[in-house]
Amino acid sequence: MELDLYFSNYTYVIIFVLFGVALPVVSLTFGRLLRPKNPYDDKLSTYESGIKPTGEAQIRFHVAYYIVAIEFIIFDIETVFLYPWAVSLGQLGWVGLNAMLIFILILALGLGYSWKKRVLEWN
Amino acid sequence: MTGQEIMFIILALIAICCASLVIVLKRISHRVLSMAFCSFAIAGLYFLLRAEFLGIIQIMVYVGGLTVLFVFAVMMTDHRTTTFVPERSKVFKFVSFIGVGSLLSIMLIGILGMDLPAGTEPFIGTAEAIGLELYGNYVIAFLGVGILLLAALIGAIVIARKEADEQ
């Protein structure tokens, strides 16, 4: 049965997931059990490349980063749509090609808008 | 009970627990992490349904992309001074309970009323099968997705630029 083969192949994935979960848990637990515990103020302070830490870590970042993140997500999704299109293009023919061209054109409008509005510039 | 059913129960439990933790946990970064784990469990459910391509997309877009977007949103907002939402009134709680309950019952009626054929062919969820359906039968919906993404992009730019000007 092909279906049984499909699920039995995922046994390896499950083993990998279990190893991935077990590795940090086991190593951190063993580390906690083995290491000597001697905390003092200097040791507990935030590591900032060797100098004394100044200011707070939770500063507000500029909103321009957020637009870049959103653009990343949008074009990430565009790439996602390209994968099934690419493998089935042989059977779809011209209809599929035209559909994808229109789709990319629609998203290119968005890219052009953000270019026009100068959100891609850093200053 | 078969191995698939056991895996389904484990993954569904992880998904439900992580989704509840998103509401229960106090620190926003813990909530984001819990949401990422929830998406992982749902990706596992997709693999169980033989929708391999959707599962990989779920990990790529939701765990990889959306979680980063949430972290960015946390970095952008000032949540040292703002405390969590104040205690709502009893009426508000009651109304929201009824709203959520009716939404849940509508969804349950819809899901239980669906007449799905039991698929036995192994490769229903490959990228090729999805591509043939998406760019063949559902090409209008696909172009609709494009317009939706364009609207999201332009909307985000308009709102974020307004925020940047106010800063």
A21 and B14 Cβ atoms separated by less than 8 Å: no
Using a CB-CB cut-off of 8 Å, the residues of chain B touching A8 are none
Backbone angles phi, psi at A74, to 5 degrees: -60, -45
Question: Are B48 and B97 part of one and the same domain?
Answer: no
Minimum-distance CB partner of A107 among B47, B142, B149 = B149
pLDDT at A104: 93
Q: Does B82 score more than 60 pLDDT?
A: no
pLDDT at site B102? 96
Q: Please, what is the average pLDDT of chain B?
A: 85
Confidence of residue B163 (pLDDT cuts 50, 70, 90): low
The topology under which CATH files domain A3-116 is Methane Monooxygenase Hydroxylase; Chain G, domain 1 (1.20.58)
What is the number of structural domains in chain B? 3
Same domain, residue pair B103 and B132: no
| B81 has pLDDT over 70 | no
In a domain, B119, yes or no: no
Q: Is residue B47 part of a domain?
A: yes
> Do B105 and B41 share a structural domain?
no
Which residues in chain B have Cβ-Cβ distances shorter than 8 Å to A74? 149, 152-153
Same domain, B1 and B79: yes
Residue B38, pLDDT above cutoff 90: yes
Q: How far apart are CA A102 and CA B151, in angstroms?
A: 15
Residue B72 and residue B134 in one domain: no
Mean pLDDT of the region A80-84: 89
Could you tell me if A34 lies within 8 Å of chain B, comparing CB atoms? no
**pLDDT given at position A1:** 59
pLDDT of B122 = 62
pLDDT of B60 above 70: yes
Residue B103 maps to a domain:
yes
pTM of the model as a whole: 0.77
Instruction: Please tell me the number of Cα atoms within 13 Å of A91 on its side-chain side.
Output: 14
Same domain membership, residue B10 and residue B43: yes
Distance CA B16, CA B143 (A): 33
Domain assignment of residue B120, yes or no: no
pLDDT at A34 over 70: yes
Q: Are residues B147 and B79 part of one domain? A: no
Co-location of B70 and B110 in the same domain: no
pLDDT digits (tens, 9 = 90+) for B107-162: 999 989 888 776 666 667 788 888 888 888 888 999 999 999 999 999 988 888 77
User: Residue B150 is nearest to which of A66, A92, A110, comparing CB atoms?
Assistant: A110
Residues of B in contact with A91 (CB under 8 A): 132
Q: Are residues B10 and B29 in the same domain?
A: yes
How large a percentage of chain A has pLDDT more than 70?
95
> Counting every residue, how long is chain B?
167
Same domain, B96 and B140: no
Contact residues on chain B for A55, CB-CB shorter than 8 A:
none
Q: What angle do CA B133, B134, B137 make, to 5 degrees?
A: 60
Residue B131 lies in a domain: yes
Pick the most confident of A38-42, A62-66, B79-83: A38-42
Q: Are residues B9 and B70 in the same domain?
A: yes
Closest residue in B to A3 (Cα–Cα): B122
Lowest-pLDDT range of A9-13, A19-23, B97-101, B102-106: A9-13
Tell me the residue range of the domain where B106 lies: 90-114
Closest to A107 in 3D by CA, of A88, A84, A80, A86? A80
